[in-house]
Amino acid sequence: MIIRRSWYELLKGETEKQYFKNLQNFLSEERAHRTIYPSDENVFSALNFVPYEKVKVVIIGQDPYHEPGQAHGLAFSVQDPTPLPPSLVNIYKEIEDDLEIKCYKSGDLSRWAKQGVLLLNTTLTVRKGAAMSHQGKGWEEFTAKIIELLSRRAQPLVFMLWGSHARQFESQISAQHLVLTAPHPSPLSAYRGFFGCKHFSKCNKFLIEHNMTPIDWH
C-alpha cells in the first residue's frame, strides 16, 4: 500500500503509531487467508488521486463495496463494467435533476477524483461478502486524522455528509468550509431528503464564489 507523497508527509506520524501497526498486522493476516477488497494497490486510491493541496470537495462514505469487481478505493465508485450500485444510481439521479445534465453511464468516479473530489471511505478495506467486517480495526482513527487535516486548511472546501455515519464529522469541520448534509443516497433513505438536496449546484456555486473551478459532475 503506497500513499502519495503530499499525504504521506502529513500522515507519517499516524503510520508510526501502534494502532496503525496493529492494523497492518491485521490486514496481513486477513489477506493471507481471505479475499480482501479493494486490492492492496488500491487501498489509498482516494488519497493518491487527489493531492492534499488540490482537494476541493470531500464526500465521505462508510466502507468499500464487498463483492467482486466493485471496490477500487474511491467511495461510491465501482470499476467498469460493474453495474451501478443503487446508491450511485440515486446520486446520478440527484445530479441530473439538480444540474439538468446527463451523467455518464460509467460508475468509475475517478473522473471526479481527478478534479479534486476526495471520495473517502472511513474504513478503507473489507472482507469479501462481509460488509463492515473491518470496522473497529483502526481505519476510523486514520481517516479521522485525514478529515482533521482537511478541516485545518485555510482554503475553503466543500464537505458532503450523507447519512448519520458521515454526519458524525460535522462538528469537527471548521467554519470556513461549506458543510452540506442530507440523508444517505441508498434506496432506504434517499426519498427522505437526499433527492432534492441540490448539493451539487450548491457545491459549484461555493467553489465559484471562492475563485475555484467548479466540478464537472457528468
What distance in Å separates the CA atoms of residue 133 and residue 130, rounded to the nearest whole number? 6
Contact in structure between 65 and 87 (CB atoms under 8 Å): no
Burial class of 123 by CB neighbour count within 10 A (0 to 12, 13 to 18, 19+): buried
Instruction: Indicate the helix (H) or strand (E) that contains 24.
Output: helix 18-33
In the block, residue with C-alpha cell 464526500: 59
Please give the positions annotated as active site: 63
Q: What is the dihedral of CA 91, 94, 100, 102, to 10 degrees?
A: 30
